[in-house]
Structure 1
Amino acid sequence: MGAALCLLSAACFGAMAIFGKLAYDAGVSPEALLLVRFTLAAVLLGIVVLVRPGLRRAASGPPRQGATGRPAMTRGRVLAIAVGLGAIGYATQASLFFSALRLMDASLLALILYTYPVMVTVTAVLLGRDRLTLARAAALAAASGGTLLVLLGAGGMSFHPLGALLAFASAVTYTVYILVADTVVHRLAPVVLSALVMTGAAGTLAARTLLTGGVDLGFGVSGWFWLAAIAVVSTVVAMLTFFAGLKRIGPSAAAILSTFEPVVTAALAALVLGESLTPVQLAGGALVLSCVVVLQLRRQDRGPRPAPDRPEPENRQGLDSAREDRTEPVGLAP
């Protein structure tokens, strides 16, 4: 279920670049797109939280396999981190993404952005959350080489140095966002976490709008339609399914499975926008995607670790850990 949720999230996120290009063609500015996207998403998620109180409480249960111990957090700290994820992390990442989208093709932008699964894996290793084997190191090296092929093969496309820099900065920001989100995703229901993240992002963008003199919302019906598609499909649905999947399988696996997004973006760009990829870029993209898929498959093939020789203490420890987890989730219910 966790893998399926992450794949569904990736498909929804993958359509966002296409919706964004169509919104730009309808006269929507990047500033208006971001403000309306997050504000509408925050309102929709807030309504869900109010009318469906049963969704407010995080499901309890034993920690996912391989998860490390999570330090205790106060209610206020958990909520502050959730709002900060949107106000700082997601608002910054989205601003960089849509600024890059104005300068370069959607398919190339998606492939640059999707260097972040490699960064998530490497950072997880440096933080002691994972182990870097020789096979995994070789796969990561091949993925980096594939990304280089994508960039070098951009001769016939609208490659823009500043756009590429913004896209890579967006990938770095999203890496931090995922690793921080993993510290609170077990303590909040997905709908509550998504609502707080969207509220934080909307607040940041609203403040920026006030400081910069406002945004133009005088575009036509088609512009509002594509903004609604971004808010509902590529934000609300995408966020809910991503957090639900992240909670089940962890940051590295969620990032790896999310590489389905550039495949969706490239396919939709070819069908809707008439974009094309050079053979070199196709080879590089295939190399990147195949490497991250191999990483996930090898992880699944290893299966669960053998039971220890003395299961009783371990079982008691697992029960204590599960019991501790049940006291940590924070909802909005009084």
Structure 2
Amino acid sequence: MDAARVKAWGLGFGVFSSVCFGTSGAFGKALIEAGMSPLQASWTRVAGATLVLVPVMLAARRRAAAAALRGRWRLLLLYGVMGVAGCQSFYFVAASRLPVGVAILLEFTGPVLVVGWTRFVLRAPLPRSAAVGVGIALVGLACVVEVWSGLRLDMIGVLAGLGAAACQAAFFLAADRAVGRIDPLVMTAIGFAVATVVLAACAPPWTVPWHELGMEVALGGHTAPGWLLLTLLVLISTVVAYVTSVAAVHRLSAPVAGAVGYVEAVAAAVFAWATLGEHLSPVQLAGGVIVLGGAFVAQRSVAAREQVIGELPVMETAGLTRSSG
């Protein structure tokens, strides 16, 4: 297969992956409104994905998994707690109290937090464009939450969305540490297994309203069986999304794969509008564009610094095992 065709397939996988990731907010919110708590919805999602991913990992990467658990267990624990359990749970809390489009935009400020961590905690010099990207993203964020109106949005939802962003930032940093050290499938499967255990302590399986899965659940102006929505959340929004994300990164350059990932935020807003009837105001839509533009500039600035010093970019290699909504 020639290079052009490989890249075309990679782009297709990347867009498809982002669209699949973008469906999670609507499916999860429908289950939450049917009676599950955000943490219960998050647990059922990661537990279902774990049941699929761990057997695949054991069949294909058993030795790599054993080596990773021996030498990198702390990093895997951090990834599972923050990158999977924390990110997805905060996102579902935010999506349950805010429009899905706003929740995903709040989460996508994660790259801005990575810039802050790199500059003020690691004290590493960054290009001026990084500060410009942060400033642009913050202006967009102000539009999304409409700060001039005294934050009309639910404050708990906004804080949860920013919590998801912080967890996404931790995921990016953990993924950077794992590049070349932990196989992507191993990191994903073990991360989900860790998240399943952690969330089980917060949302015990026996408290989940399993009977809701046998009932019709409202999805906008339509209804669907609860078990079908959960199946779609696990298989499409999680397993297929992660697999196609890996396939995309293997066929594209890191910068292109990182850029394609921003389709997820657009897909989440569009899918929530189509299925749940959620609308964003014109100002929020404009703010969303500004947020994504600023986050992208900040991401590329950090990536450029990493490439200069001879390392793989922290935020673009993270596409190997994404943790977002």
| 2:186 equivalent among 182, 187, 192 | 192
- The one-letter code sitting in structure 2 at the alignment partner of 1:139 is G
Match of 2:202 among 191, 208, 211: 208
Match of 2:137 among 137, 143, 162: 143
Partner of 1:42: 50
User: Counterpart in 1 of 2:322?
Assistant: none
CA distance in 2, matches of 1:126, 1:46: 37
State the match for 1:182 in structure 2: 176
1:190 touches 1:244 (CA, 8 Å); kept in 2?
no
Cα distance in structure 2, aligned partners of 1:106 and 1:204: 25
How high is the TM-score relative to the length of structure 2?
Answer: 0.73
Give the superposition deviation at 1:161.
1.0
Q: Return the offset for 1:231.
A: 1.3
Hey, what does 2:228 align to over in structure 1? 225
Equivalent of 1:96, from 90, 93, 101?
90
> Match of 1:110, SS?
helix
**Equivalent residue number for residue 64 of structure 1:** none
Deviation at 1:121?
Answer: 3.2
Q: Extract unaligned runs of 5+ from structure 2.
A: 1-6, 215-224, 312-325
1:116·1:255 contact (CA, 8 Å) conserved in 2? no
CA deviations 1:90-145 (Å, max 9, x no partner) are 21222222122221111111111111122223333456697522233223211211
Give the Å deviation of 1:30: 2.6
Match in the other structure for 1:113 = 107
| 1:217 CA drift (Å) | 1.0
TM-score (norm 1): 0.71
Q: Aligned pair 1:163/2:157, yes or no? A: yes
Matched, 1:19 2:13: no
CA gap 1:189/1:298 in 2 versus in 1, 3 angstroms: closer
Structural RMSD (CA):
3.8
What's the secondary structure of 2:180's corresponding residue? Answer: coil
Query: 1:268 maps to what in 2?
Result: 271
Which whole-Å CA distance do the structure 2 matches of 1:165 and 1:180 have between them?
22
Work out whether residues 39 and 202 of structure 2, in 8 Å CA contact, stay in contact via their aligned partners in 1: no
**Is residue 27–residue 223 contact of structure 1 (8 Å, CA) maintained in 2?**
no
2:276 is aligned with 1:282: no
Matched residues in 2 for 1:232 and 1:178: separation?
23
Greater shift, 157-166 or 142-151, is seen at 157-166
Partner secondary structure for residue 230 of structure 1: helix
Q: Would the aligned equivalents of 1:146 and 1:286 in 2 still touch at CA under 8 Å? A: yes
Q: Following superposition of structure 1 onto structure 2, how do residues 229-268 of structure 1 map, counting pairs within 5 Å?
A: 229-242=232-245, 257-268=260-271
Higher alpha-carbon Rg: 1
Amino acid at match of 1:13: F
Question: Which residue number in structure 1 is paired with residue 321 of structure 2?
Answer: none
In structure 1, C-alpha distance between the alignment counterparts of 2:32 and 2:238, rounded to whole Å: 18
- Deviation of 1:173 (Å): 1.6
- Cα distance in 1, alignment partners of residues 304 and 77 from structure 2: 37
Name the amino acid aligned to 2:27: F
Secondary structure in 1 matching 2:72: helix
Q: Which residue of 2 aligns with 1:328?
A: none
- Shift of the 136–35 alpha-carbon distance from structure 1 to 2, 3 Å rule, reads closer
The secondary structure found in structure 1 opposite 2:178 is coil
Alignment of 1:115-134 (within 5 A): 115-126=109-120, 131-134=125-128
Seen in structure 2, the aligned counterparts of structure 1 residues 283 and 87 have a Cα distance that, compared at 3 Å, is closer
1:88/1:288 Cα in 2 relative to 1: closer, same or farther (>3 Å)? closer
CA 1:119/1:150 → structure 2, altered by over 3 Å: closer, same or farther? same
Q: Which has the higher helix share?
A: 2
Distance 1:125 1:245 in 2: 30
User: What CA distance in whole angstroms lies between the structure 2 residues aligned with 1:168 and 1:50?
Assistant: 35
Aligned partners of 1:139 and 1:203: how far apart in 2?
A: 37
Q: CA deviation at 1:154?
A: 9.4
